Amino acid sequence: MARVHGKDITSINIDNASGTAADFKAETISLDFSASAETHDTTTIGDSFREFTSGLKGGDDVSHTFMYNNTSTTGIWAVYTGRLGISNTLDFTDGTRTVSMETIVTKLSMPIAVGDMIKCTATHKINGAITFS
């Protein structure tokens, strides 16, 4: 098993509002991805140990922190403002393994501080199945 450093991610693709993928690896500071599954307690009265059954998967949030780029139509900020509230594809790969999912961009934030680069965050809500390949 090879260990992979975050700098070795080969692409982070975000579909724009028209569904065309754009690679924003160069602007990315971090991508916080997680996948989860719900469980439901099925323990009956008198049992000594808890029992669970699996439930729905997904619905997690993905947080993407990136450097602000003000290119008018193709920059990351323009793509994200066009994606706000729209379901489209987000995927990332290390060249060997790829994770792909439909997401809805639910929040954009742009804190501005004098003396620092503008770093923005987009929050995605996973919408449906996640593909691991």
- Low-confidence stretches of the chain (pLDDT < 70) are 1
Calculate the alpha carbon distances from 20 to 2, 13, 77, 79, 83 in Å: 32, 9, 15, 10, 11
How much of the chain is in helix, strand and coil states, percent to nearest 5? 10, 50, 45
pLDDT of residue 1: 54
Q: What whole-number distance in Å separates Cα of residue 8 and Cα of residue 63?
A: 19
Fold of 11-132: Elongation Factor Tu (Ef-tu); domain 3 (2.40.30)
pLDDT tens for each residue of 105-129: 999 999 998 999 999 999 999 999 9
Token representation of residue 95: 């060249």
Comparing C-alpha atoms, which of 32, 111, 33 is closest to residue 67? Answer: 111
H helix count then E strand count, the chain: 1, 9
Give residue limits of the domains in the chain. 11-132
Q: Where are the alpha helices (DSSP H) in the chain?
A: 76-83
pTM, rounded to two decimals:
0.87
pLDDT of residue 6: 82
Phi, psi at residue 112, to the nearest 5°?
Answer: -115, 125
